[in-house]
Chains A and B, each alone.
Chain A
Amino acid sequence: MNTLAGPTPPPDTVLEDIEVELFVRALKLRYGYDFSQYAPASLKRRVLQLVQAQHADTVSAITARLLHEPDFLPVVLEGLSVPVSEMFRDPDVFRALREQVFPVLASYPQINIWQAGCAHGQEVYSLAILLEEAGLYERSQIYATDFNESALNQAQEGIYPARDAQLWSRNYLAAGGSHSLADYYSARYELIKLDQRLRRNVIFANHNLVTDEVFCEAHLVLCRNVLIYFSDPLQDRTLGLFRDSLVRGGFLCLGTRESLAFAPSAVDFTPMNAALRIYRLESRNGGGG
């Protein structure tokens, strides 16, 4: 046996995995943000993208910056949340909300809606428009939450690239919108700004699905394409949060390709529109009616 030869260097993808794990650990120990229960493949992609965007050579280099430069934290959080969405993404879902869910919501004197993981707010404004057109907005309260402070700020501003407006207008009409999306925004240079009256009943708040608890009683929870980034146990925990937050018979709307097959908490939800992932909370004790 040749004792002079050093240990075989691990392939660099394995080294990267070690570095990502240390990065996640540093983020948790130093700032309390826990990404350890995120789905690993996507998380690693995002971390590596962050490395590239920062022109760093290794994950370890940004781990060091993260530990020593608190100002770097928002950059990291923004990079790890990469919020991408559209207004009225999956128009069928918004049509179903309008046609199947709103008639039930209309029976409540006050309607509370939790938009969990609102990112840059495209869906918050979509929802507000939909409620407005259904005549329900005056008695609605939307809680729009995200753990990413800079995303929340952008959501509040409601300013988006004008190049997106065309697709969003098509989505809006496909969702059954009764006006023109242009009625709800003003365009200027390369940007559009959503009518700020649309957020008169929106509360934007920082809430982390990983670590925070229930904070409102909701009739509808929208959380689309957020849980896809969570491991099974975290997905299950979050569904538990939604269950505890929803009134009996309340609605949960997830992304159209999400699966509840590995979440024990899913037993509490009955599919109302299985294809579009709209669920209703079962009555808790089976008897309540």
Chain B
Amino acid sequence: MNSPQAIVIGCSAGGLNALETLFAGLDRALPQPIAVCCHTGSATVDLMCELLGQHATLRVVEARERASLEGGVIHIAPSGYHLLVEASHRFALSVDERVSFARPSIDVLFDSAAEAYRDGLIGVLLTGANRDGAEGVARIRHCGGVAIVQDPADAAVPVMPQAALELAGADHCLPLAAIAPLLNRLCLT
């Protein structure tokens, strides 16, 4: 892999708590942009950004259509839209059909980011109750990026990381507590 240029994170059931832990452990000097797809039932992600922002070392904002991915900032996919990354490293939104029953879908974010950043991408898949993200992890690895999957035994809901491991494997399979330190190491050296 090249030096990392961006990080994408996917999670579903149990994801909010996992993100809280992860974001609290990130080094505040992290220069890469971070994009997050977290399945949520709410109509907006305002509250999610606020909650996550309380403990995060980095700024947490909703990802904005057409905006560039900003280094050192955590961008959350808006509710009800797929979030994609263009080759120009800008965000795009879509209201296409749900993928794996989800919109935003982790696969959609991971696929597009994998092609936009190729071997400069790190993908992180955390707890969740469906199979969304498995294809995306495969795509990231296929394009030369690094995939980090939460150890299913450590996940609040193991289905999602388990599905990804079975379909795509991972470069690192770790408990949640070890993921932020790994990201800091990969991204700051």
Binding site for B on A (CB under 8 A): 11, 13, 39-42, 45-46, 82, 84-85, 225, 228-229, 232, 255, 257-259, 261-262
B111 surroundings in chain A (CB, below 8 A): 45
B97 surroundings in chain A (CB, below 8 A): 82, 84
A46 surroundings in chain B (CB, below 8 A): 96
Question: Do the beta carbons of A45 and B108 come within 8 Å of each other?
Answer: yes
Give the top 3 A-B pairs by smallest Cβ distance, nearest first. Answer: A41-B84, A259-B65, A41-B112
Docked Cα-Cα span, A39 to B87, in Å, equals 10
Docked Cα-Cα span, A157 to B183, in Å, equals 53
Question: Do the beta carbons of B65 and A45 come within 8 Å of each other?
Answer: no
Task: Give B65-103 as 1s and 0s: 1 = Cβ < 8 Å from A's Cβ atoms.
Answer: 111000000000010011011110000111111000000
B22 sits at the interface (CB 8 A):
no
CB distance from A13 to the nearest CB of B (A): 5
B132 sits at the interface (CB 8 A):
no
17 pairs of residues in contact across A and B, judged by CB atoms under 8 Å? A11-B143, A13-B142, A41-B84, A41-B85, A41-B92, A41-B112, A42-B92, A42-B94, A42-B96, A45-B108, A45-B111, A82-B96, A82-B97, A228-B93, A258-B65, A259-B67, A261-B66
B143 surroundings in chain A (CB, below 8 A): 11, 13
B82 surroundings in chain A (CB, below 8 A): 42
Docked Cα-Cα span, A229 to B81, in Å, equals 12
In this complex, what residue of B is CB-closest to A16?
A: B115
Contact partner of B94 (CB less than 8 A), chosen from A11, A13, A228, A261, is A228
Question: Do the beta carbons of A45 and B86 come within 8 Å of each other?
Answer: no
Question: Do the beta carbons of B66 and A262 come within 8 Å of each other?
Answer: yes
Question: Do the beta carbons of B84 and A85 come within 8 Å of each other?
Answer: no
Binding site for A on B (CB under 8 A): 64-67, 78, 81-82, 84-87, 92-97, 108, 111-112, 114-116, 142-143
Docked Cα-Cα span, A82 to B97, in Å, equals 8
B108 surroundings in chain A (CB, below 8 A): 45
Docked Cα-Cα span, A257 to B87, in Å, equals 21
Docked Cα-Cα span, A255 to B94, in Å, equals 11
CB distance from A217 to the nearest CB of B (A): 29
CB distance from A93 to the nearest CB of B (A): 12
Docked Cα-Cα span, A287 to B63, in Å, equals 38
CB distance from B142 to the nearest CB of A (A): 8
Docked Cα-Cα span, A40 to B93, in Å, equals 11
CB distance from B169 to the nearest CB of A (A): 18
B67 surroundings in chain A (CB, below 8 A): 259, 261
In this complex, what residue of B is CB-closest to A13?
A: B115
Docked Cα-Cα span, A225 to B142, in Å, equals 31
7 further interface pairs, Cβ-Cβ under 8 Å (given A228-B92, A257-B64): A13-B142, A41-B84, A41-B115, A41-B116, A46-B96, A228-B65, A228-B95
Docked Cα-Cα span, A151 to B60, in Å, equals 39
B65 surroundings in chain A (CB, below 8 A): 228, 257-259
Question: Do the beta carbons of B87 and A40 come within 8 Å of each other?
Answer: yes
B94 surroundings in chain A (CB, below 8 A): 42, 45, 228-229
Q: A41-B86, A45-B111, A228-B65 are in contact. Are A257 and B81 (CB under 8 A)?
A: yes
Contact partner of A85 (CB less than 8 A), chosen from B64, B66, B95, is B95
In this complex, what residue of B is CB-closest to A46?
A: B96
CB distance from B156 to the nearest CB of A (A): 28
Docked Cα-Cα span, A13 to B111, in Å, equals 10
A39 surroundings in chain B (CB, below 8 A): 84, 86, 92
CB distance from A44 to the nearest CB of B (A): 8
CB distance from A238 to the nearest CB of B (A): 14
CB distance from B161 to the nearest CB of A (A): 24
Question: Do the beta carbons of B64 and A84 come within 8 Å of each other?
Answer: no
A41 surroundings in chain B (CB, below 8 A): 84-87, 92, 112, 115-116
In this complex, what residue of B is CB-closest to A11?
A: B143
Docked Cα-Cα span, A85 to B84, in Å, equals 19
